Structure 1
Amino acid sequence: MKTAPLTCEKCFSDFQEALEELKAVIKSAKNKGLDAKTEAQIVRVFELTHELTLKTITEFFRNQGHSGFSGSRDITVEAFHEDLIDDGQGWLDMIILRIKYNPIYPENTQNELVDRIINSFVKLFENFERKMEKKLE
């Protein structure tokens, strides 16, 4: 059975679902309080959302005829130049913090990551969603 080709619109739809799930998990955590299990769930959904963002951007550029990106940093820089994202440094910080995060490292890295997800990264995703919707119209 053949799978349907990946489209920018499909990637974007998947991203939007993941973002809604991330916001729901955060809202629930704010109501119930943060514990280790909830923090781990926030990190998992965040990582999925970020990966789907990068997939969406990659497919958008592929449709535009751009390719040859060597990783998330290249894609992010190009997305900033193409006005798909509006805070290039914030997005690069997101990538760096994801690289630093590893569940076996000290707890303070996870605490920092969860704090940044709740207080700044969700806003970056929401801004991307707004800009991408305009590009896909």
Structure 2
Amino acid sequence: MRKPVLDCENCFAEFTNQLNELQDLILEGKSHGMNDEVRSKLIVSFEKTHDAALETIAAYFKNQGKPPFSGSRDITVEAFHADLIDDGQGWLDMIIHRIKYNPLYPGDYLGSLSENIVKNYLGFLESFERNMSKKLDT
């Protein structure tokens, strides 16, 4: 079953909902402790939020008549050049960290990914929310 094509505003609304859930999970983790269960929920929420951000960016560029992108790295670079994201390298690192977290690769990335989500990636996503909101208001 194909997903329906969403316009940029709907994608952005979904991103905002996902971001709010991620922020709530981070607050919960900070107040009740970051055990492995909370870290796992945090990572799932982060992945949904990041995917929603990428869908929003893709919809934004589609509205501008740009062709589809081949992957998350390409769309991230283009988003940086369009001032949708502030830290292009940080976003690319975020993508790489997500790939490394994949259970197919050896290593314990649960702790380091969840730590990076709290310390860095949440800020990147919040900055994207502010930038995208400004773009959609104009």
TM range (shorter): over 0.9
Match of 2:34 in 1: 34
Does 1:63 find its partner at 2:67? no
1:122 aligns with 122
2:73, 2:4 → 1: CA distance? 28
1:69 is displaced (CA, Å) by 1.1
Distance 1:25 1:93, change over 3 A: same
Residue in 2 aligned with 1:132?
Answer: 132
Task: Determine whether 1:54 maps to 2:54.
Answer: yes
- Whether the aligned pair in 2 keeps the contact of 1:57 and 1:75 (CA below 8 Å) is yes
Structure 1's 103 and 5: CA in aligned 2 closer, same or farther, altered over 3 A?
Answer: closer
AA aligned to 1:96 is: I
The separation in 1 between residues aligned to 2:94 and 2:81, in whole angstroms, is 17
Secondary structure at the aligned position of 1:132 is classed as helix
Q: What TM-score does the superposition give when structure 2 sets the normalisation length?
A: 0.93
Letter aligned with residue 134 of structure 1 = K
Residue deviations 1:85-116 (CA, integer Å, cap 9, x gap): 01000000000000110246433x11110010
Residue type at the aligned position of 1:111: G
- Contact residue 12 and residue 52 of structure 1 kept, 8 A: yes
Report the CA distance shift for 1:4/1:71 in structure 2 as closer, same or farther (over 3 A): closer
Instruction: Report the count of equivalent residues.
Output: 134
What is the CA–CA distance in structure 1 between the aligned matches of 2:17 and 2:130, rounded to whole Å?
14
CA RMSD of aligned residues (A): 1.3
Give the aligned residue type for 1:41: K
The amino acid that maps onto 1:94 is M
Kept after mapping to 2: 8 A contact 1:11/1:52: yes
Alignment of 1:1-137 (within 5 A): 5-103=5-103, 105-107=106-108, 109-137=109-137
Unpaired stretches in structure 2, ≥5 consecutive residues: none
Runs of 4+ in 1 over 6 A off after TM superposition: none
**Percent of matched pairs sharing the same residue:** 49
The answer to whether the Cα contact below 8 Å between 1:103 and 1:110 also exists between their aligned partners in 2 is no
- Distance, in Å, in 2 between the alignment partners of 1:90 and 1:6 is 27
